[in-house]
Amino acid sequence: MCGIVGYVGKKNAYSILISGLKRLEYRGYDSAGVAMINVQSELNIYKTKGKVDDLVAFCDEKDTTGTIGIAHTRWATHGEPSSKNAHPHVSASGRLALIHNGIIENYITLKEKLIDRGVQFRSVTDSEVLVQLIEYIMQSNELDLLEAVQVALHQVIGAYAIAILDREHPDTIVCARQSSPLVVGLGKDHDYYLASDASPIAEYTDKVVYLNDGDIAVLQYGKTLKMVNKDNETQQPKVKQIDVSLGQLEKGGYPYFMLKEIFEQPECLRDCMRGRINVESNRISLSAVIDYREKLINARRIIIVACGTSWHAGLIGKQLFESLCRIPVEVEYASEFRYRNPVIFPDDVVIAISQSGETADTLAAIELASKSGAFVFGVCNAIGASIPRQTQTGVYIHVGPEIGVASTKAFTGQVTTLSMLALCLAQERKSIPAAMYQEMIKELASIPEKLELALRTNKQIEQLAPIFTYAKNCLYLGRGYNYPVALEGALKLKEISYIHAEGYPAAEMKHGPIALIDSEMPVFVIATRDRLYDKVISNIQEVRARGGRVTALVTEGDEQISKLADYVIELPDTLECFQPLIASIPLQLLAYHIAVCKGKDVDRPRNLAKSVTVE
C-alpha cells in the first residue's frame, strides 16, 4: 500500500504533491511527507505522523518552494507510524530523498552490510535501506543516480515503486517499479507527474504511461521520457489515454466518499451494463466472451480468486455460474490459494476479481494459475492496473474510481459483471431455457431503478442507526444468494464502526453462534421472498426464542415477518439471483450511519487501506 506522488516541471510542486496525496490517502494514512528542491538547490523534507492534513499544518510557514518534488502517504509495515519512519527517507549525506511503496524482503541483510561499512540509519523501516544503498553505490563507484539505482536494484529482493530526488540534479526524478504500481503522467511541456494510480494525475494530463515490472524511468524536465531496465536496456513507453473526470474524484456535496459511492450505485450499474446488455435484442455481449468463446464455454471448472469484498462477490459468482452455466466453481482466498499448491488443470478458467487490480495476493494467485496453464480472466475496476494487464482477458466493471476505503459500488459492480458473464456463458452453453435468459436480462437491466428505490430506505436506516451504536457484537444472517450478502454486511460494519460482526448462513447459526444470542445482540436477517423464505422465517423464530432483537430486510409488502421482527426494512422484489444487488444497499447504509453516529472517520477507517499491495 502507501501512496506516492511526484512532479517535475515549471509549476509549484508542493501544491500538486499535496492534492495528489489527498487523492491517494485511501492507500494509507499513518504518516505523510514531502521533499522539494528549491532554487538554491536545497532539499527540504517535511514529514509527520498522521494524515495529509497534519502534514499541511506542519508545513505551514516552511519553505515549500520548488518545481520538483516527491511525496508519500504511508501504511505502516516495518516500523511504527512516526515522523522518523515517515517517507521521504534521506541519504546519509543529505543528497538524495526517496519514497517507496512495497516491501524490501532482504532489507536486514542489506542494512547490516551498510552498517558494517559505516552507514548510519535514521529509521527502522525497510525503505530507508534503498536510499542508503543507492547513495553508497553512487559514492563508492562514482556512478550517477540512474546507474546507482540499476546496480542497487540488482541487489534488492521484494516489491517496490520508488521515486528519488537528487539535490545535485534539480530537474530530474528517477523512479522504478517492481510489483507495486506506478504511473507517469506526461505534461504538455515535457513536465512529468508520477503517482501510484492515475487519480492524482488526471487533473493535469490525460496521457499516462503505466510502468511495467522492471521498468526504470528518468523524468527530466524538458526532455523526452527515458525508460530502461536494470540492465540498461531501453524500454518503449506505451502512452495511454485516461478518461477520469474530476467530478468522479470529488465528494460532490456528500459528507463522505462512501455515502457518495453508495448513492452512485444506480448510475454505476447503468455504466457497467452500458453497451453490454441490449434489452431490445435480448442479448448480452461481452467482448472477452466473443474473443475467447471456446476457452470459456468449455471450462472444466471455474476457480475464483479474490480478497475481501471481492471474495464476497466471488461467492455470489459461484452460485450464478453453477446454477446458470452448470460449471463447477471454487472460490478461493487468493492469499491461501497462492501458497497451497492447488490442483489447477489447463482447461480451468481462473477468474481474478479485484477493485484496485493491484492486490498483491491476487496478483500472485494469477501468476500461479498462469504458470499452471489455466486460462486467467480478470474482473477489475481500475483501468490499466496490473491485474487487467496480467490476465489473458477480462471485463472492466466500469463503476468509476472508488475512493471510500470500504468498498460499496465496486461490490455491486462486480456482482453485476459476474451476472452478465454467467448469463453470457449460459446462453452460449445453452444451459438455461431461452425464455429464462430473456427474463433475466430484462430483470438485470431494471436493477438500477430498483436500487433507486432501495436507496429510499436511507432515512429510515439513519433513524434506526443510533439504536445499534451500543452493540459490541452483531450477527448477520442470510441463506443462498443472500449468505454472501450477510458476510459483506458484517464486513462493512466491522471496517468502519469497529463493532465486531459475523456473517453466517442462517441455518448454520444453530451450530454455534446461537449461543451468543441475547437481548444485547442485534441480529440482521436478509429475509427476502425466495425459495428459502420459509426456512429463514424459522431461523428468525429461533433467534426470537432466545430474546434476540431482529432487524429484517424483507420484500416490499411482506406481512409475515413484520409480525416477528423488531424492525423491518422493505426492499423492491427481484429475481433471487439478483437479490444481493438490492439487499446490499441497506446494509451499506446501516454500516455507514452506525459509524457516523459513533463519530468514526468513515472514509479512513483505522488500520485499513484500500489497495493492499503487500502480502
> Which residues of this chain interact with ligand G6P, rule CB under 6 A?
307-310, 354-356, 359, 362, 405, 407, 608, 610-612
The rounded distance, in Å, linking the Cα atoms of 610 and 603 is 10
State the minimum distance, in angstroms, from the CB of residue 389 to ligand G6P: 14
At which residue does the C-alpha cell 438500477 appear? 448
Q: What is the DSSP secondary structure assignment for residue 464, as one 8-state letter?
A: H
Considering the complex, state which of residue 3 and residue 308 has its C-beta at the smaller distance from ligand G6P: 308
The rounded distance, in Å, linking the Cα atoms of 5 and 55 is 14
Considering the complex, state which of residue 48 and residue 309 has its C-beta at the smaller distance from ligand G6P: 309
Considering the complex, state which of residue 329 and residue 353 has its C-beta at the smaller distance from ligand G6P: 353
3-state SS, residue 52: helix
Write the DSSP assignment of 24-40 as a string of letters: HGGG--SEEEEEEE-TT
Please report which residue ranges of 25-106 form alpha helices under DSSP H: 52-59
| Chain center to CA of 101 | 15
The rounded distance, in Å, linking the Cα atoms of 85 and 96 is 16
Considering the complex, state which of residue 134 and residue 258 has its C-beta at the smaller distance from ligand G6P: 258
Q: Which of 318, 409, 494, 610 is catalytic?
A: 610
Considering the complex, state which of residue 27 and residue 549 has its C-beta at the smaller distance from ligand G6P: 27
State the minimum distance, in angstroms, from the CB of residue 612 to ligand G6P: 5
State the minimum distance, in angstroms, from the CB of residue 497 to ligand G6P: 15
| Catalytic annotation present for 2 | yes
The rounded distance, in Å, linking the Cα atoms of 182 and 104 is 17
The rounded distance, in Å, linking the Cα atoms of 348 and 354 is 19
State the minimum distance, in angstroms, from the CB of residue 380 to ligand G6P: 8
Considering the complex, state which of residue 409 and residue 450 has its C-beta at the smaller distance from ligand G6P: 409
The rounded distance, in Å, linking the Cα atoms of 293 and 53 is 50
CA angle 286, 292, 294 (to 5 degrees): 120
Considering the complex, state which of residue 85 and residue 408 has its C-beta at the smaller distance from ligand G6P: 408
Considering the complex, state which of residue 164 and residue 399 has its C-beta at the smaller distance from ligand G6P: 399
What contacts 233, CB < 8 A, 6 or more positions away?
none
The rounded distance, in Å, linking the Cα atoms of 248 and 268 is 11
The rounded distance, in Å, linking the Cα atoms of 561 and 563 is 5
State the minimum distance, in angstroms, from the CB of residue 318 to ligand G6P: 17
Q: Could you tell me whether strands 172-178 and 207-210 are parallel, antiparallel, or unpaired per DSSP bridges?
A: unpaired
Q: Which residue is nearest to ligand G6P (CB)?
A: 308
138 close to 144: Cβ distance less than 8 angstroms: yes
Terminal-to-terminal C-alpha distance of the chain: 10
Please report which residue ranges of 382-476 form alpha helices under DSSP H: 386-390, 409-429, 434-455, 458-468
State the minimum distance, in angstroms, from the CB of residue 419 to ligand G6P: 18
Q: Which of 2, 272, 307, 424 is catalytic?
A: 2
| Catalytic annotation present for 535 | no
Please give the backbone phi and psi of residue 209, each rounded to the nearest 5 degrees, phi first. Answer: -125, 120
Considering the complex, state which of residue 104 and residue 612 has its C-beta at the smaller distance from ligand G6P: 612
Closest CA to 329 of 297, 294, 299: 299
State the minimum distance, in angstroms, from the CB of residue 286 to ligand G6P: 20
- In the chain, the amino acid numbered 184 is V
What contacts 545, CB < 8 A, 6 or more positions away?
none
The rounded distance, in Å, linking the Cα atoms of 14 and 285 is 46
Considering the complex, state which of residue 135 and residue 261 has its C-beta at the smaller distance from ligand G6P: 261
237 close to 227: Cβ distance less than 8 angstroms: yes
Classify burial at 53, counting beta carbons within 10 Å of its beta carbon; exposed 0-12, middle 13-18, buried 19 or more.
middle
- In the chain, the amino acid numbered 332 is E
Total residues found in the chain within this entry = 615
| Chain center to CA of 20 | 17
Strand order in the sheet with 172-178: 89-90, 96-104, 158-166, 172-178, 216-220, 226-228
- Catalytic residues, which ones? 2, 610
